Amino acid sequence: MNLTRVFTKTAISTPERQQEADADLVIVRQVQAGDVAAFDKLILKYRERLFGVVYNLTANREDASDLTQDSFIKAFQAINRFQGNCSFFTWLYKIAVNTALSHLRKNRMRSFFSLEKLNEEGPGAEVIEKLTDRNGADRDAYLRELQEKLNEAMQKLSIPHRTVITLFEIDGLSHSEIAEIMGCSEGTVRSRLHYAKQVLQGELSKYIRS
Amino acid sequence: MSDPRHNAKPTLEELLHLKRAERPNADFWAGFERELRQKQLTALVEKRRWWHGLPVLSRRRLYLPVGATAVVAFALVAVRFNTPGHIAQAVNTAPRIEANDPAVEVLPITVVSYPRNQGRYEEPVAAESARPVVVARIEPLASAPVREEISPSARSIAANLARLEQAEPELVQAVMGNRLSAARVQTASLHDEREVEESADSTPRYRLIARYAERALSPQPAAPVREHVARRLGNDLVDDVSRIGVGGNRVSLRF
């Protein structure tokens, strides 16, 4: 069932990503030609998604904010080196993931969470609605507990496994895109994903359906 | 029957999708944009380091000029440091010439210039130059030491002469005669004049050395030798001519 879902997602996402990549390339060429203000369009387009990736890797909103900004600055400084061999989105994600991983390696011993409140109107609203319908009265407490337990379980994963599960399940990237971002094969991505899910299932067995 | 409590639980995927809802509010993004703008300006103003330009160099295919420059620089450095020490540290033993020395004489010179005509030769044009040329009489430094060395052959000759003098002093006296003045002239280049004179007066073996030296350096060969050489040359010439024969249209050569 999971495999079917994966293939469906990849098939649907490819033409969308291609359109997105073409639109991004036009803006990138403008920036490369000297139109610095055009880079703001790319920031507005990707800041939430980029923040989401970094936030799910670090589980700290302040760190995530700084690292996302740093990623945009790095991309801005290196934009003349972008030649369009991959999509700008993949290139930007690669910068953000590498920045976050570098930060995590440097601060391996320092880990404290500062979680965002759940936004019930944005993406994920359907899941919240589904969960609260089932748990009526103390919904806020229940959601908070789920959020904390999930974050704890995520932090028990190694950095590569956490990255794979974040990019695949939360950000909805395909295996090939993750492989390109992480610089490994799709097989490695699949195996890491499988292992990460097993660990999470074990950690969250009390809260999830097997 | 399925457990309703079990069905109420979310799946792992659903729980992970819950993370998508963890998004900051609008205030956060306002602050985010302000900070990002500040960092962007700082990055624009920040002075670029010299090594940031290296990738640009590699893209512009400047490998060859940069590599050639490096090779030339390396060669120069290698030549500089591999110069033999005796060349670099040689002491200049040549006599010094001072420009204001009274021995220095200033002479006018003639500069000959060749006009540059394309492919046509013309006589050089001589012009009197106003530039003086410094000509100096070079004298050895007074402080330079004179090397005094007696060769092994001279020593052996002197020893033989001493033995001969002991055995037959009259013969030695008759042979040496008044040759001491010649000995002084011939050995002046090797010895200090006064020392040679003193030693020649004091020891008879130097007189014999002087005699041999005079004979060796004499510009006129002895008369019998001259006659012998002339006779030999004449014989050779006659012999060569007699080998050539001419008859009719033929020239024959005998070996």
Burial of residue A132 (number of CB atoms within 10 Å: 0-12, 13-18, 19+): middle
- Minimal CA–CA distance to A61: which of A103, A104, A117? A117
- Minimal CA–CA distance to A75: which of A117, A121, A38? A38
Q: Which of residues 92-111 of A touch B (CB under 8 A)?
A: none
Q: How far is CA B209 from CA A118, B85, B227, in A?
A: 123, 42, 28
Is B15 touching A (CB cutoff 8 A)? yes
What are A22-36's pLDDT values in tens digits? 888 999 999 999 888
Contacts 24+ apart (CB under 8 A), B25-33: B25/A117, B25/A119, B28/A61, B28/A65, B29/A47, B32/A47, B32/A51, B32/A65, B32/A68, B32/A69, B33/A43
- What is d(CA B11, CA B23) in angstroms, rounded to the nearest whole number? 21
The answer to whether B10 contacts A208, with C-beta atoms less than 8 Å apart, is yes
Pairing mode of beta strands B244-247, B104-113: unpaired
| A120 contacts on B by Cβ (under 8 Å) | 21
The answer to whether A115 contacts B13, with C-beta atoms less than 8 Å apart, is no
- What is d(CA B207, CA B193) in angstroms, rounded to the nearest whole number? 15
Q: Which residue of B has its CA nearest to A78?
A: B52
Q: Which of A47, A51, A124 sits opposite B17 (nearest CB)?
A: A124
What's the whole-number average pLDDT of chain A?
82
What are A17-68's pLDDT values in tens digits? 778 788 889 999 999 998 888 889 999 999 988 998 999 888 888 899 999 9
Residue A205 pLDDT grade (very low, low, confident, very high; cuts 50, 70, 90): confident
Q: Which of residues 28-47 of A touch B (CB under 8 A)?
A: 43, 47
Helix axes A139-156, A186-203, angle to 10 degrees: 130
Q: Which of A116, A143, A165 sits opposite B24 (nearest CB)?
A: A116
- What is d(CA A133, CA A145) in angstroms, rounded to the nearest whole number? 16
Mutate to test the interface with B, among A46, A151, A170, A171 (most CBs of B within 10 A): A170
pLDDT at B171 over 70: yes
Q: What is the pLDDT of residue B240?
A: 62
The answer to whether B28 contacts A65, with C-beta atoms less than 8 Å apart, is yes
| Contact between residue A62 and residue B47 where contact means Cβ atoms under 8 Å apart | no
The residues pairing with B245 across neighbouring beta strands, listed in sequence order, are B252
**Terminal CA-to-CA distance of chain A, rounded, Å?**
14
Q: What is the pLDDT of residue B1?
A: 45
Domain boundaries, chain B: 26-82, 152-217
The amino acid occupying position B84 is: P
Q: How far is CA A39 from CA A97, A195, B16, B33, in A?
A: 20, 38, 31, 13
Residue that the structure tokens 């930007």 belong to: A92
The amino acid occupying position A179 is: A
Is B37 touching A (CB cutoff 8 A)? no
The answer to whether A208 contacts B16, with C-beta atoms less than 8 Å apart, is no
Residues constituting chain A: 210
- What is d(CA B20, CA B130) in angstroms, rounded to the nearest whole number? 97
- What is d(CA A46, CA A88) in angstroms, rounded to the nearest whole number? 10
How large is the average pLDDT for residues A176-192?
Answer: 92
- Minimal CA–CA distance to B137: which of B103, B162, B164? B103
| Contact between residue A118 and residue A124 where contact means Cβ atoms under 8 Å apart | yes
Is B21 touching A (CB cutoff 8 A)? yes
Is A48 touching B (CB cutoff 8 A)? yes
Is A6 touching B (CB cutoff 8 A)? no
Helix axes A61-77, A88-106, angle to 10 degrees: 130
Distance of CA B49 to the CA centre of its chain: 45
Q: Is the dihedral of CA B203, B208, B212, B214 positive or negative?
A: positive
pLDDT at B24 over 80: yes
> Backbone phi, then psi, for B111, in 5-degree steps?
-100, 125
Half-sphere exposure of B85 (CA within 13 A, CB side): 0
- What is d(CA A167, CA A155) in angstroms, rounded to the nearest whole number? 15
| Contact between residue B219 and residue B211 where contact means Cβ atoms under 8 Å apart | no
- What is d(CA B94, CA B97) in angstroms, rounded to the nearest whole number? 9
The answer to whether B32 contacts A65, with C-beta atoms less than 8 Å apart, is yes
What's the whole-number average pLDDT of chain B?
64
CB within 8 Å of B56: residues ≥ 6 apart: none
- What is d(CA B139, CA B4) in angstroms, rounded to the nearest whole number? 125
Is B92 touching A (CB cutoff 8 A)? no
| B30 contacts on A by Cβ (under 8 Å) | none
Mutate to test the interface with B, among A41, A116, A149 (most CBs of B within 10 A): A116
Q: Which residue has the higher pLDDT, B65 or B135?
A: B65
How large is the average pLDDT for residues A93-119?
Answer: 78
Q: Which of A111-120, B194-203, B212-221 has the lowest average pLDDT?
A: B194-203
- Minimal CA–CA distance to B239: which of B217, B254, B219? B254
> Among the CATH numbers 3.90.1150.10, 1.10.1050.10, 3.30.870.10, 1.10.1740.10, which is that of A2-203?
1.10.1740.10
- What is d(CA B116, CA B88) in angstroms, rounded to the nearest whole number? 40
Q: Which of A73, A76, A150 sits opposite B19 (nearest CB)?
A: A150
pLDDT at B189 over 60: no
- Please state the ipTM of this predicted complex: 0.76
Mutate to test the interface with A, among B2, B18, B46 (most CBs of A within 10 A): B18
- What is d(CA A131, CA A136) in angstroms, rounded to the nearest whole number? 9
| B35 contacts on A by Cβ (under 8 Å) | 65, 69
Is B2 touching A (CB cutoff 8 A)? no
How large is the average pLDDT for residues A130-135?
Answer: 61
Q: Which of B7, B15, B32 sits opposite A69 (nearest CB)?
A: B32
Q: Which of B18, B22, B35 sits opposite A55 (nearest CB)?
A: B22
Mutate to test the interface with B, among A43, A127, A134, A204 (most CBs of B within 10 A): A127
> Backbone phi, then psi, for A116, in 5-degree steps?
-80, 150
